[in-house]
Amino acid sequence: MKAEVALTVESTTVHVGLSERSYDIHIGLNNLSTIGELAGELGDISHVVVITDSNVRDLYGETVLKSLSQNDFQVDIMTVPAGESSKSVSILEELWQQMLSLGADRKTVIVALGGGVVGDLAGFVAASYGRGVRFIQIPTTLLATVDSSVGGKVGINLPGAKNMVGAFWQPQAVLIDVAVLESLPARDYHAGLAEVVKYGVIQDEDFFNQLENNVGLILERDAEFMRDVIARCCELKAYVVENDERETSGLRAILNYGHTFCHAIEACAGYGTYMHGEAVAIGMLCASRLAEALGRITSEDTARQHNLLVQLNLPIALPQDLKREPMVEAMKRDKKTEHGKIRFILPTRIGHVELVDDVDEALALAAFN
Ligand code: GLY
Query: HEC string of 194-211?
Result: HHHHHHHHHHCHHHHHHH
Considering only CA atoms, which of 41, 118, 42, 61 is closest in space to residue 85? 118
Does pLDDT of 163 surpass 60?
Answer: yes
Task: Please give the residue that has the higher pLDDT: either 25 or 8.
Answer: 25
SS3 230: helix
Span 186-367: which CATH code?
1.20.1090.10
Distance (Å) from CA 169 to ligand 1 centroid: 13
Section 170-179 average pLDDT: 98
- Residue 3's pLDDT is 52
Ligand 1 atom 2 nearest Cα: 255
Dist. CA 218–CA 222, nearest whole Å: 6
71 or 50, which is more confident? 50
Q: Which residues are catalytic?
A: 131, 153, 195, 237, 247, 252, 256, 259, 263, 276
Tell me the pLDDT of the chain averaged across its residues. 94
As its CATH architecture, domain 4-183 has 3-Layer(aba) Sandwich (3.40)
CA of 151 relative to ligand 1 center, distance in Å: 7
Task: Read off the pLDDT band of 6 (50, 70, 90).
Answer: very low
Q: Is 97 exposed, middle or buried (0-12, 13-18, 19+ CB in 10 A)?
A: exposed
| Nearest ligand 1 atom to alpha carbon 255 | 2
Residue nearest to atom 3 of ligand 1 (CA): 255
* pLDDT tier, 270 (very low <50, low <70, confident <90, very high otherwise): confident
Q: Is 120 in the pocket of ligand 1 (CB under 6 A)?
A: no
Q: Check if 147 has its Cβ closer than 6 Å to any atom of ligand 1.
A: yes
Counting atoms of ligand 1 from 1, which one is nearest the CA of 256?
Answer: 2
The closest-lying atom of ligand 1 relative to the alpha carbon of residue 151 is 4
CA-angle at 125, arms to 119 and 129, nearest 5°: 155
Average pLDDT over residues 214-228: 97
In the chain, ranges of CATH 1.20.1090.10 domains: 186-367
* Rounded CA separation 28/181 (Å): 12
Site to probe by mutation for ligand 1, drawn from 233, 255, 260 as the one with most ligand atoms within 8 Å of Cβ, is 255
In angstroms, what is the span from residue 321 Cα to ligand 1's centroid?
31
248 alpha carbon – ligand 1 mean position (Å):
13
Residues 22, 7: contact at Cβ < 8 Å? Answer: no
> What's the average model confidence in pLDDT over 285-313?
98
Distance 148 CA to ligand 1 centre (A): 6
Residue ranges, comma separated, of all CATH 3.40.50.1970 domains in the chain are 4-183
Asked if residue 322 has pLDDT above 50, the reply is yes
Bridge pairing between strands 12-16 and 23-28: antiparallel
Convert the pLDDT of each residue in 29-57 to its tens digit. 999 999 999 999 999 999 999 999 999 99
Half-sphere exposure for 112 (CA within 13 Å, toward CB): 34
Look at 213 and 336; give whichever has higher pLDDT.
213
Does the beta carbon of 240 sit less than 6 angstroms from any atom of ligand 1? no
Q: Are 68 and 35 in contact (CB under 8 A)?
A: yes
pLDDT at 272 over 70: yes
Per-residue confidence at 9, pLDDT binned at 50, 70, 90?
A: very low
Q: Say if residues 33 and 182 touch (Cβ distance below 8 Å).
A: no
Residue 237 Cβ inside 6 Å of ligand 1? The answer reads no
Residue 262 contacts by C-beta under 8 Å, 6 or more apart in sequence?
276, 279, 280, 282, 283
Q: Give CB contacts under 8 A, 24+ apart, made by 80-83.
A: 80/51, 80/52, 80/53, 80/54, 80/118, 80/121, 81/53, 81/54, 82/53, 82/54, 82/55, 82/56, 82/117, 83/53, 83/117
